[in-house]
Amino acid sequence: MKQILSDIWQWSWFSDEKQLDFNGLFLVIGEHKILVDPPPMTAEARAVVRRHEPIDYIIITNRDHLREAAVYQAEFRCQMRVPEADAAQMDVKPATTYKDGELLPGGIWVIHLKDQKSPGESALFIERGRGVLIVGDALIGKPAGSVCLLPPEKYVDLQKAKNGLRRLLKYNFDSLLVGDGTSILVGGKQQVEQLLSVTS
């Protein structure tokens, strides 16, 4: 568990199958403590989270990033929030769902991204400092310092998926925290702009 920004920690679990780090985030925003897309925790990561208990809720960005959320929901006795459009395709019963434009407790804005791998794919925007954007499968942090899309076969229509991502450029963010790969702490928006200009 590493503190990567003010009041934001990240931990990773390496996927042999994908040859990528799967990242989880622990956010402390005001009085709220939140986990995002949590993969398995080490004992050290769990200790950091426990020092900040109680945990308010867990956010899942898409149906495929459930990971260990059900385990930690039970362990930390907190709520789980999942995208409304993905809820029916998930094997959990969340406390609540969320949808586009919603402001989640702690000041996290939901940005629903159309035409992605799953119908509920959502980014999370925290409007503080120079702006923080959190993505699940919408963008992959690979190679380190840049971003890429999932393989083309993951999309019904690749061009529509790219167009759906352009919505992210309306937001002012410097840090781009990814669920898969390497997060970009400075210059994240420029990397997204570069990807979409090259792949349009």
Q: Return the CATH class of domain 2-198.
A: alpha beta
Instruction: Copy the structure tokens of residue 165.
Output: 């991502």
20 closest CA partner among 54, 58, 50, 65? 65
Parse the chain into domains and list their residue ranges: 2-198
- What is the spatial distance between Cα 183 and Cα 10, in angstroms, rounded to a whole number? 9
Whether residue 75 contacts residue 52, with contact meaning beta carbons closer than 8 Å, is answered with no
DSSP letter for 123, please: E
pLDDT at site 95: 84
169 closest CA partner among 138, 136, 137? 138
- What is the spatial distance between Cα 154 and Cα 114, in angstroms, rounded to a whole number? 14
- All residue ranges of the chain with pLDDT < 50 are 199-200
Q: Is 132 helix (H, G, I), strand (E, B) or coil?
A: strand
pLDDT at site 128: 86
pLDDT at site 17: 85
pLDDT at site 162: 94
- What is the spatial distance between Cα 150 and Cα 172, in angstroms, rounded to a whole number? 24
Write phi, then psi, for 154 (nearest 5 degrees): -75, -10
